[in-house]
Structure 1
Amino acid sequence: MSNKVVLITGTNSGFGYLTAKGAAERGYTVYATMRDIKGRNAERANELQSIDNINVIELDVTDSEGVKNALGSVIEKEGRLDVLVNNAGYFGGGLAETYSDVDLEKMYDVNVKGTWRTIKASLPQMRKQGEGLIINTSSGLGRFSAPFMTVYNSTKFAVEGLTEGLHYEVRPLGVDVVLVQPGAFPTEIFSKVAYGSDQAVAEGYGELAKVPEQVSQGMGQMFEAMKPDPQMVPDAIFKLMETPKGERPLRTVVDGMTGEFIEKANAQVKEGYDNFITAFGMKDLLN
Structure 2
Amino acid sequence: MSKVIVITGTSTGFGKLTALTLAADGHAVIATMRNTDGKNKLVADKLSNIDNIEVVDMDVASEPSVTDAFEYILKKYGNVDVLINNAAVTGFGIAEAYSIESYKNMFDINFYGPIRAYQAVLPSMRSAKQGLVINLSTGASGFSVPYMVPYMASKFALETFIEGIDSELRDFGIENVSIPCGVYPTGMGEKGGFNADREEITLAYPDFGQRIGDLGKAFYSKVEEFKMDPQTIANGIKSLIDMEKGTRPLRYPLDAIAQGTDVEFITAKRKIKRKWASKYGIDI
**TM-score class normalised by the smaller sequence:** over 0.9
Identity of aligned residues (%): 34
- Looking at structure 2, the residues matched to 176 and 65 of structure 1 have their Cα atoms a distance apart, in angstroms, of 26
Match of 2:188 in 1: 189
Q: Does 1:119 align with 2:142?
A: no
* Equivalent residue letter for 1:113: Y
Match of 2:86 in 1: 87
- Looking at structure 2, the residues matched to 159 and 142 of structure 1 have their Cα atoms a distance apart, in angstroms, of 9
Match of 1:98 in 2: 97
- Looking at structure 2, the residues matched to 9 and 42 of structure 1 have their Cα atoms a distance apart, in angstroms, of 16
Gaps of 5+ in 2: none
1:77-113 CA-partner distances (Å, limit 9, x unpaired)? 1111100000000111121111001110000000000
Paired residues of 1:83 and 1:133 also in contact (CA < 8 A): yes
Match of 2:206 in 1: 206
Alignment of 1:106-185 (within 5 A): 106-185=105-184
Paired residues of 2:226 and 2:256 also in contact (CA < 8 A): no
Paired residues of 1:171 and 1:177 also in contact (CA < 8 A): no
Structure 1 segments, 4+ long, off by >4 Å, are none
Match of 1:250 in 2: 250
SS of the residue aligned with 2:37? Answer: coil
1:147-202 CA-partner distances (Å, limit 9, x unpaired)? 11111110110010000001111012100011111010111112235311112211
Paired residues of 2:87 and 2:109 also in contact (CA < 8 A): yes
* Equivalent residue letter for 1:68: T
Paired residues of 1:3 and 1:28 also in contact (CA < 8 A): yes
1:122-165 CA-partner distances (Å, limit 9, x unpaired)? 11000000100001111013321011111111011001000000
- Looking at structure 2, the residues matched to 253 and 3 of structure 1 have their Cα atoms a distance apart, in angstroms, of 25
- Looking at structure 1, the residues matched to 202 and 58 of structure 2 have their Cα atoms a distance apart, in angstroms, of 35
Match of 2:264 in 1: 264
SS of the residue aligned with 2:220? Answer: helix
- Looking at structure 1, the residues matched to 188 and 83 of structure 2 have their Cα atoms a distance apart, in angstroms, of 21
SS of the residue aligned with 1:229? Answer: coil
Gaps of 5+ in 1: none
| Pair 233,259 (structure 1): closer, same or farther in 2 beyond 3 Å | farther
Paired residues of 1:85 and 1:135 also in contact (CA < 8 A): yes
- Shifted more, 248-257 versus 135-144: the winner is 135-144
Alignment of 1:207-286 (within 5 A): 207-283=207-283
Alignment of 1:11-30 (within 5 A): 11-30=10-29
SS of the residue aligned with 1:137? Answer: strand
- Looking at structure 2, the residues matched to 246 and 260 of structure 1 have their Cα atoms a distance apart, in angstroms, of 24
Q: TM-score under structure 2 normalisation?
A: 0.95
Paired residues of 1:183 and 1:259 also in contact (CA < 8 A): no
- Looking at structure 2, the residues matched to 82 and 279 of structure 1 have their Cα atoms a distance apart, in angstroms, of 36
1:75: Cα distance to partner?
A: 0.8
SS of the residue aligned with 2:29? Answer: strand
Report how many residues are paired.
283
- Looking at structure 2, the residues matched to 21 and 52 of structure 1 have their Cα atoms a distance apart, in angstroms, of 9
Alignment of 1:39-118 (within 5 A): 39-118=38-117
1:52-75 CA-partner distances (Å, limit 9, x unpaired)? 000000000011111111111111
SS of the residue aligned with 1:31? Answer: strand
SS of the residue aligned with 1:93? Answer: coil
